[in-house]
Amino acid sequence: MRRYFIDNLRWLSILLLFPYHTCMIYNNFGENFYIKGENIPLLSGFIQINYTWFMPLLFVIAGISTCYALERRTPKQYIKDRICKLFLPLISGILLIIPIQTFYAEKFHNGYNGGYFYQYILFFTKKTDLTGYTGGFTPGQLWFILYLFIISLVALPIAIKYKNSSKKILANKLTILKILPMFLIVWIMSLILNIGGKSFGEYFALFMIGYMVLSEDTIQMKLEKNRWYLFGGFVTLTTLNLLFQNVWNYSSGIFYDIFSHFISWIGILAIIGVGKHYLDFHNKVTKYFTKASFPIYIFHQSWIVLIAYYILKITSSIVIQVIVIISGSFILTILTYEIFKRISATRFLFGIKE
């Protein structure tokens, strides 16, 4: 039986990126962005509330989905699927979608007045910190797809060995109190291959815990049963985190790192528990966004950057800017998806299901 709540959590998390990346334009914590507006504490708070959990949740969901996928696919079929749905869209996105973002970053930050295609050369030749926030090469938001593709392949032999092993984690003996400390595994692994604040080791650990632990029906039922305890803890710790960052100016060091990883973990557990209880259904809307979620992820940020570049010139009203950026980018992303899914070449390039 398909776990619809897993699909629904995935696409809902991806839709969250529209307001999230819009708020990045207005962040007040010193991080640049392709287009940068005023520093707005309220919008920065939205980022601080959500950054701890939603990308880690996507890697956990990927691990859970891999467990289900390997129940009905051979390893060869799984690899082929990863190439079609992750690797090809990754390459296509870097070549065709991401340079749009750096084009407007060059214009906004550097006063670039040249044409798009000359900037395309800059995209591949200019020295950069890999964010591309002020131009130059970057995988942009596709870093997630890059990491997921590599992690999927690295994890596959481990997953197959675990699947065929007689020694497995006994889900019925795992209580919530035994699951909570697992965040320490993620924290320790976060020290491995941390590139620009995105740790390969951390996301690999989340993927494998999703595969081995959180894919178990027994565990999901326990999370559902304890969903409000977990969610209450998540809200409390997130509130404390806001105080740490904005009132007490404390957001670094080993203690804070452990603390933020615990918030991430309890948030993941709470959201899975709540999702299982309230989101385990499907209809025309959920079916549509389940299919559209990855293309939406690929396309959304380029539209956000493009619209932001122009709307910041047109009006100084932050409210109007935010509304236009979020709604406009969402509509244009959906239109892009609708057009591309009707063309065989773009369906192939971006891994779009018919």
Q: How far is CA 26 from the centre of its chain?
A: 19
pLDDT at residue 217 is higher than 80:
yes
* pTM confidence score: 0.95
Q: pLDDT tens digits for 70-87?
A: 988 999 999 999 999 999
Q: Which two tokens stand for residue 130?
A: 């890999």
Q: pLDDT tens digits for 111-134?
A: 999 999 899 999 999 888 889 999
How many domains would you assign to the chain? 1
Q: Of 5, 37, 30, 13, whose CA–CA distance to 320 is shortest?
A: 37
Contact 38, 311 (CB under 8 A): no
How many angstroms separate the CA atoms of 244 and 90, rounded? 36
354 within domain boundaries = no
Q: pLDDT tens digits for 151-165?
A: 999 999 999 998 888
Mean pLDDT value across residues 262-273? 97
324 within domain boundaries = yes
pLDDT at residue 354 is higher than 80:
no
pLDDT at residue 29 is higher than 90:
no
pLDDT at residue 232 is higher than 80:
yes
Q: What percent of the chain has pLDDT over 70?
A: 100
Q: Is residue 133 classed as helix, strand or coil in its secondary structure?
A: strand
Q: Is residue 190 classed as helix, strand or coil in its secondary structure?
A: coil
E strands of 61-169, at which residues?
Answer: none
65 within domain boundaries = yes
pLDDT at residue 249 is higher than 90:
no
Give the pLDDT score at 192: 92
Q: pLDDT tens digits for 51-61?
A: 999 999 999 99
Mean pLDDT value across residues 202-227? 96
Average predicted confidence (pLDDT) for the chain: 94
pLDDT at residue 166 is higher than 90:
no
Q: How confident is the model at residue 1 (pLDDT cuts 50, 70, 90)?
A: low
92 within domain boundaries = yes
Residue type, 30: G
330 contact partners, CB below 8 Å, separation of at least 6: 15, 18, 300
Mean pLDDT value across residues 252-256? 89
Q: pLDDT tens digits for 132-144?
A: 999 999 999 999 9
What value does the CA radius of gyration of the chain take, rounded to a whole number of Å?
20
Range of the domain at 321: 4-349
Contact 309, 111 (CB under 8 A): no
How many angstroms separate the CA atoms of 342 and 175, rounded? 48
229 contact partners, CB below 8 Å, separation of at least 6: 176
Q: pLDDT tens digits for 275-319?
A: 999 999 999 999 999 999 999 999 999 999 999 999 999 999 999
